Chains A and B, each alone.
Chain A
Amino acid sequence: MKLTIEELQKKAAQIRLRTIEMIDTAGGGHIGGSLSAMDIMTALYFRIMNIDPNQPDDPLRDWFILSAGHKAAGYVSVLAARGYFEDALLDTFNKLGSPFGIHPDKNKIIGCEASTGSLGHGLPMSVGIALSLRLDNLQSNVYCLMGDGETHEGTVWEAAMGAAQHRLDNLIAIVDYNKCSMDGPINSIVSVEPIEDKWKSFGWNVIRIDGNDMASVVEALEGPHPSGKPTVIIADTLKGKGVPSIEGDYHWHYGFLNEEQLAQARKDLGGVSNG
């Protein structure tokens, strides 16, 4: 499936609305990060990655690892929209017996590649996946989406060193740089700057984009990327993107919209969820 930029923009708006509705039904969820990363996840699943929801175990597929597992609300909405499972299943989110909780469980969710949630695990797992793909002479890529605060974790940098050492050009990491962590603006807690220089000095190809601009997201993900080194996309995003009343506010790490905000969001996002 290769949607156009315009179609991807529309799709992202629809999935944003579905995510917001699902979080409202559940009574809470990681709304801010789910929305900031939505353009990236939509581009990956509806244009970039070689995947087939009817064959989730296809050995030739590309891999997506949601290292920032708390963005699962947005992630499972993307998987539903892409056809991995019925949309109605999303209404069980966070309920007893549901395949979906705040963090994704790969043994419960069709299409989910790894159980994540504890930060700093996805990139090193992606290193193992990328190495094994190369060992098997496969051309597939691994896309690993991290949060910006997640890069506080030391294991991110162990993996950053390892990926460069192993020249993993089949690994594309994306940092959802929405500038907010749980306790406040991230760079007032512990700064991740100079973020581009950090990754460059670790031996990575660095691309800086507006992560909420679909054309830029697609261009960065499509490449071509240089061979012989891993690529990281630093995606400047807005936490809560798509819902102006909460955009850029770190307090919206977790929560749900009230009735008035939800009605406004429906208008802002075109009124159709998951198309």
Chain B
Amino acid sequence: MYIVIVGCGRYGSLLADRLSCLGHSVVIIDRQKNAFKALSAEFSGFTITGDASELSVLHMAKIDAADCLLSMCNEDTLNLMVTQTAKFIFGVPKVIARVYKPSYESIFRKFGIEIISPIQLALEAFLQDLDLDRGPENEAQ
């Protein structure tokens, strides 16, 4: 698969590394050139320094040929703009956004954007691990 990743922070860089090692062709975009230092030596994809909310940067990443776009920034508005552009203007088949602030979750859903919310996932995992996800009755048993 040809995958475009926006944001080379903690999530973006790990994801890019993993997908690249699995043999996918990966292009990763970040505003800061320094951000790419987080990528491992095994990363064999391309890096683009630029603002993904600019069309010219998305064109540089060959967005119209992408099978998948993952927007992993720590700014919900940027993720919202990039994913909507990818999905509704360039028709990228698979588009997923990372949700940073939980208050934006319903907005992503309303705009038809698939999301992954690290905070929600962590929350669920904590609750499950504590076996407290079924309320106080469970605790009493």
Mutual binders A and B: no
| Residues on A facing B (Cβ under 8 Å) | none
Which residues of B approach A to under 8 Å, CB–CB?
A: none
